A = this chain, B = another copy of it.
Amino acid sequence: MRRLVLVIEYMGTAYSGWQSQKHKNTVCDVLTEAIEKIVGEKITLFASGRTDLGVHALRQYAHFDTNSDILPFKLCLGVNTKLPYDIAVKECYEVDDTFDARKSAVSKTYLYKIYISPTHSPLRKFTHAQLYFPLNIDKMKQAAAYLVGEHDFTAFMATGGQTKTAVRTIFDVKISSIGDEIHFEVTGNGFLYNMVRIIVGTLVKVGQGKIPPQQVKQMLELKKRSLGGKTMPPEGLYLLKVRYPEKYLVK
């Protein structure tokens, strides 16, 4: 039995998210079926984490066990011939069986893209959220600083999430203004249900001048979701990368 890990890119627009669901078109199900055609046996895929309906991934990771002795690069090429255009296996590595795509992850980074314009963008319709008016970047950076560190993120979790504790560590929040776009990069050791989309929605509310940057601190302390901003839509969100311990040699 060998364990293989895949690096996967997908455009989430056509899918009901990553996680396998009955009677739904999910990335996990489509990918599992493609892999099974190549390795000639049933497999079970374990991802670094779920992504929701419409959310994209540039470097999602998932592992599976197989009896096949196929070379990793041949698996990568073979599986791609069985996939629709909106899912691609970018890389494949063999790893020892202590590796787990979810449990071994040291950190995950999400990217959120917002296009700022009073009119919509045909070329960015499925890849960016849109806001009509500019945001105050400095205020958003001030607010984001309160998020960095270990906190109870109950105020940044959608109802419906299942978790023992809402304590997570955010390592970094980068905010960049690039032409008519604003990009947010959030890195943490784990994320709650809808957490990135609520973080960005709250930073947007700060950037619009509707709440002061300090309110983010209050949200954390009071654990009050209602003090924050809207949950941003899925089309602007990307799982950008996942970091693993160096011993696994998984880039």
Q: Which of A11, A86, A119 has the most CB of B within 10 A?
A: A119
Contact of A119 among B80, B117, B119, B120 (CB under 8 A): B80
Between A9, A77, A87, A122, the greatest number of chain B beta carbons within 10 A of the residue's beta carbon is seen for: A122
Q: Which 10 A-B pairs have the closest CB atoms?
A: A11-B122, A86-B122, A11-B123, A90-B119, A88-B122, A85-B125, A9-B122, A10-B122, A88-B119, A88-B120
Q: For chain A, which range describes its interface: under 10, 10 to 19, 20 to 34, or 35 or more residues?
A: 20 to 34
In the assembled complex, the CB of A231 is this many whole angstroms from the nearest CB of chain B, namely: 22
- The residues of A with any CB-CB pair to B shorter than 8 Å are 9-11, 56, 58, 76-77, 80, 85-91, 117, 119-123, 125, 127
Asked if residues A123 and B80 are in contact (CB atoms below 8 Å), the reply is no
Q: Would you give 21 A-B contacts (Cβ < 8 Å), ordered by A? A: A9-B121, A9-B122, A9-B123, A10-B122, A10-B123, A11-B122, A11-B123, A11-B125, A58-B123, A76-B119, A85-B122, A85-B125, A86-B122, A86-B125, A88-B119, A88-B120, A88-B121, A89-B119, A90-B117, A90-B119, A123-B127
CB distance from A117 to the nearest CB of B (A): 7
Q: Which residue of the partner chain B has the closest CB to A10?
A: B122
